[in-house]
Amino acid sequence: MEPAKIRPPATRQPAPQLLCQSIVQELVESSPEAIFLETLTGEILDCNCAACQIFGYAEKAELVTRQIKDIFPEKVAVTFPAVVTEELTTGGILVEAWGKRKDGSLFPTQVSTRLINYEGEQLVIAHIRDITVEKELEERRAVRQELTAALSTAAVSVNSRLQPDEVLDCILEQVARVVNGEAFNVMLINADSVRIVRWRGYDKLELGIKVSTEPMPLDKYPSLIKMLRTSAPVVIPDTLADPHWVGQEKEWRRSYIGAPILIGEEPVGFLNVNSTEPGRFGAEDGQRLQIFAIQAGTAIHNARLHQQLHQYAKNLEQRVAERTAELATQNARLETILRSVTDGIVVIDPAGTVLLANPLAEKWNAEFLPSADAQKLREAMRTLAREAGGALALTLELSTADLQLQAVPVLAAEGGESQVVITIHDVSELKTLERLKSQFISSISHELRTPLTAIKLYAQLLQYKNPNKEDEYLAALNSEIDYLVEMVERILQFSKISVHQITLKLEPTDLNVLLEAIIKSRQAFAKQKALSFTFHPNLGLPKIRLDQEQIRHVFLNLISNALHYTPAGGVVQVSTEITVDNGQEWVITEIKDTGMGIPHQELPHIFKRFYRGVEPRREQISGSGLGLAITKELVEVHNGWITVESKENHGSIFTVWLPVNRGPVLNQV
């Protein structure tokens, strides 16, 4: 087949070919889509080789001599010129239509057209793609989606309803969505017989069929016996052609499909579908029906369990009532004693049943602790109750408290079953002190190790007495020593603040001037990281009385954090404003960055001493965990407060509120 050459019709004067360049011609011929050149009246002027293959023509000449109506059904071809004239003026159209091959067979296509102007005449270039496979996949996908939806609806019914009739009706309704039958029923087995218990669709057949609910002998129906033997579906495409089919006097069922309903490996019934037409069902229908039969088995099993459970609940209710009366007597006996102690006390039996609890213990379980911690507390008490052969104790570390539990076995007042008395003592403060001590030692050890290692290294390098490197090594030593001194001073400063030993040197201060000095000192670092670092002061700020050195530490720490935790190319903004709240005038300083942000779960802890978030540790950003704790303390001793807004990967905003004309809360000079 020769390469396609797009050309004007024979009635036109010779002209340069529309696709004259070889590379364009090659693209047209290599396209898997059919490409046509047409007139607005539907006359085919030219096409590529793919057009012949898709529409079943041996030569291009056969297509070039035809009209658009020859490759599309009449109803499409008739409206084509009008559609083209109206729609192509907007820049092109994309439609789906049935294509017609040379042999007359139809197939789905996607048609994309565009209007072109050739020597003053409007022509149409059409791209036609065979979408048969896509449509088949789309149809299969729709069938799968319908099956999934039907199974989901049936599953919800099985799991949410306890009445078997309602569930079976729902299953039959969903089967009708995905199995192309007309009459549906569920049979249940009783000894050697079966009986229809639920049905659907018989009334729509208009054949005067009356569904019998009378028992029928099981061995009379070979199809049912086969399902019992194989535990697999049975498909009968044509009942009249099946020698084993047991029909009725006026047989209307021409095709049949059934699936056994099992509970475990025990057959309990059958799910059946009938049709008045032969050849309606196939193996795929059998697989679908089997899935619904499994759900029917689950529904029947649930109904049986519900019946057993109902009887068990009645028996249990009686036993609980008896036990409750016994516990009420014991509670009245011990209530006064339990109310007088300051620790939580629980009386529990070896099975873990709480027999008695004083009000404080009840609050630990119901008010003081979140549900997850309360559950851990109950489990710990049950463990102590089971293992308390003698006095036992354990410490329970929860998310909101640390509790010490002590268990002592005692003999019940009646001289019968032993019980356990458990005391619950809050040791949160002690554990907090222990944790703080450990955190302090760990943090300081880590922070000291790096500069000390560097100092040792540079001291060793100085021993080599390299004149060219001596100044560099000494500068590095001084830097590391300064870092150690700053860390020690920070620890001492926090210690003084904690015991209220810090003395403030107050003087009227222009906060804008103080902030400008800090920002200027950090500009080189910001420039090195390619950060946008700006200051937006409110020029009308009043002077406020504060300790300039301490407040300088506050803002230097916050600004340094913003610069450190913001990646290259980010933004750090510092701004000041004045506001009035409840009659008090405040100067507000906001430090805003586009850095890594703070996870929601870490926000409540960032101002705690020695606390460091997960991300800074992962990124190995140095720090002692004291900076924000000191910052918060220094702001508060100036009668101010600090707030933070942050979202992970979306930056942070730290806001410092300092009062105007209101003195600090500590010693002043």
For the segment 295-323, the average pLDDT, to the nearest whole number, is: 84
Residue 12 lies in a domain: no
* Contact yes or no for 73/98 (Cβ under 8 A): yes
Q: What is the pLDDT of residue 315?
A: 87
Classify 347 as helix, strand or coil.
strand
Model confidence band, residue 251 (pLDDT cutoffs 50, 70, 90): confident
Same domain, 174 and 259: yes
CATH code, domain with 186: 3.30.450.40
> Which pLDDT tens digit goes with each residue over 602-648?
888 888 876 766 666 565 555 666 788 888 989 998 999 999 999 98
- Whole-angstrom CA distances from 318 to 314, 321, 330, 583 are 7, 5, 19, 66
| Domain with 248 in it | 143-307
Range with lowest mean pLDDT among 211-225, 309-323, 591-605: 309-323
| pLDDT band at 441; cut points 50, 70, 90 | low
pLDDT at 225: 93
pLDDT value of residue 16: 44
Beta-bridge mates of residue 461 = none
- 212 and 258 together in one domain: yes
* Window from 62-76, 148-162, 613-627 with minimum mean pLDDT: 613-627
Encoding tokens for residue 158? 């099985």
Binning pLDDT at 50, 70 and 90, where does residue 471 land?
confident
Query: What's the pLDDT score for residue 97?
Result: 87
Say yes or no: 126 and 156 in one domain. no
pLDDT digits (tens, 9 = 90+) for 323-341: 888 877 776 776 676 677 7
What distance in Å separates the CA atoms of residue 96 and residue 332, rounded to the nearest whole number? 83
- State the Cα–Cα distance between residues 270 and 293, nearest whole angstrom: 7
Residue pLDDT, tens place only, 342-371: 788 888 888 888 887 887 777 777 777 788
Give CA–CA dist 551/541, Å, rounded: 16
Q: What is the pLDDT of residue 536?
A: 97
Give me the torsion for CA of 656, 662, 664, 669, rounded to 10°: 130
Q: What is the mean pLDDT of the chain?
A: 81
Looking at the fold, whether 250 and 202 belong to one and the same domain comes out as yes
The stretch 15-33 carries a mean pLDDT of 67
Do both 572 and 436 map to the same domain? no
What are the b/e assignments for 533-542, b being 16+ CB within 10 Å?
A: bebebeeebe
Same structural domain for residues 528 and 437? no
- Domain assignment present for residue 380? The answer is yes
* 69 within a domain of the structure (yes/no): yes
Q: If pLDDT is split at 50, 70 and 90, which confidence band does 7 have?
A: very low
Range 474-483 contact pairs with CB under 8 angstroms and sequence separation of 24 or more:
480/451, 480/452, 480/454, 480/455, 481/451, 481/455, 483/451
Nearest to residue 289, comparing CAs of 143, 174, 153?
174
Q: Are residues 391 and 530 in the same domain?
A: no
Residue 391: phi and psi, rounded to 5, are: -70, 130
**% of the chain surpassing 70 pLDDT:** 79
pLDDT of residue 592: 97
Domain count for the chain, please give it. Answer: 5
Using pLDDT thresholds of 50, 70 and 90, give the confidence band for residue 21.
low
- Of the two residues 119 and 45, the one the predictor is more confident about is 45
SS (H, E, C) 64-98: HCCEHHHCCCHHHHHHHHHHHHHHHHHCCEEEEEE
Query: Of 90-104, 487-501, 600-614, where does mean pLDDT reach its minimum?
Result: 487-501
* pLDDT value, residue 187: 93
152, 167: one domain: yes
**Are 508 and 598 part of one and the same domain?**
yes
Instruction: Give the separation between CA 171 and CA 590, rounded to whole angstroms.
Output: 63
Name the DSSP class of 151.
H
CA–CA separation, 396 vs 384, rounded Å?
12
pLDDT of residue 236: 93
CATH number (domain holding residue 493): 1.10.287.130
The last residue of one of the domains, among 130, 162, 185, is 130
The domain boundary residue, chosen from 104, 130, 156: 130
- Six-digit token pair at 205? 């057949």
- Is the pLDDT assigned to residue 98 strictly greater than 70? yes
Q: What is the mean pLDDT of residues 433-454?
A: 67
Amino acid 442 reads S
Considering the domain architecture, whether residues 200 and 300 belong to the same structural domain is answered as: yes
Residue 125 domain-assigned? yes
Residue 522 contacts by C-beta under 8 Å, 6 or more apart in sequence?
533, 559, 560, 563
Of 261-270, 333-342, 465-474, the one with minimum mean pLDDT is: 333-342
Same domain, 167 and 106: no
In this prediction, residues 5-21 reach a mean pLDDT of: 44
**199 and 283 assigned to the same domain:** yes
The larger pLDDT score, comparing residue 262 to residue 418, is at 262
Q: Residue 514's pLDDT is what?
A: 95
User: Is residue 332 domain-resident?
Assistant: no
> Where does a domain end: 498, 526, 548?
498
Q: Is residue 486 part of a domain?
A: yes
Dist CA 267 CA 638 (whole Å): 81
| CATH number of residue 662's parent domain | 3.30.565.10
Rounded to whole angstroms, the Cα distance separating 420 from 348 reads 5
CA atoms of 385 and 120, how far apart (whole Å): 99
Q: Span 493-520, mean pLDDT?
A: 81
In a domain, 1, yes or no: no
**Lowest-confidence range among 59-73, 79-93, 243-257, 470-484?**
79-93
Return the pLDDT at 26. 78
pLDDT exceeds 60 at position 197: yes
Structural domain contains residue 7? no
Residue 256: pLDDT band with limits 50, 70, 90: very high
Three-state DSSP string of 188-213: EEECCEEEEEEEECHHHHCCCCCCCC
